[in-house]
Amino acid sequence: MTMDRREGNCHQPPSPELLQGIAQFNGETWFDCHETLEELWIGEPGLIRDMYQGILQIAVGLHHWREGNYGGSVSLLRKGAALLGHVDGDCHGVDLSALREDTDRLRERLETLGPERMDELEREFIPRIHLIG
């Protein structure tokens, strides 16, 4: 079986580092998640690189939201979701389709609230990363 080099090895289980980054993301330690996934992102070629970069941009977007940086938050949420769109719906067992949809829903809600009311964001809009299987 020949693998497209751009796809990398998406069908492998998640690495311990990816699982750590997911736990940090879901635990809302988004800056730590960024630091963890940046190490994976730097060394990865192809589309899996886009997955790591997409997740870490979403994490930093959430960090910006918490810090009150509306423009940075909305921009990074948009860019992160777009990067996830380059990869199949799941990679390394991560449900990227759900994360992308949840991130778009969050960004749209923030845009509705605007910079003056972004602190009123309801908790149910904060995405979580889910594993498949």
Q: According to the model, what pLDDT value does residue 85 have?
A: 93
DSSP 8-state symbol, 131: B
Does any domain span residue 4? no
Supply the range of the domain harboring residue 85: 17-125
Does any domain span residue 10? no
The domain total for the chain is: 1
Query: Per residue of the chain (133 residues), what is the pLDDT tens digit?
Result: 333 434 468 888 999 999 999 999 999 999 999 999 998 888 888 889 999 999 999 999 999 999 999 999 999 999 999 999 998 888 999 999 999 999 999 999 999 999 999 999 999 999 999 999 7
Helix, strand or coil for residue 14? coil
Q: According to the model, what pLDDT value does residue 45 have?
A: 80
Does any domain span residue 3? no
Q: Which of 25, 82, 83, 76 is nearest to 51 (CA)?
A: 83
pTM of the model: 0.92
**Which domain CATH number covers 78?**
1.10.3450.10
Does any domain span residue 116? yes
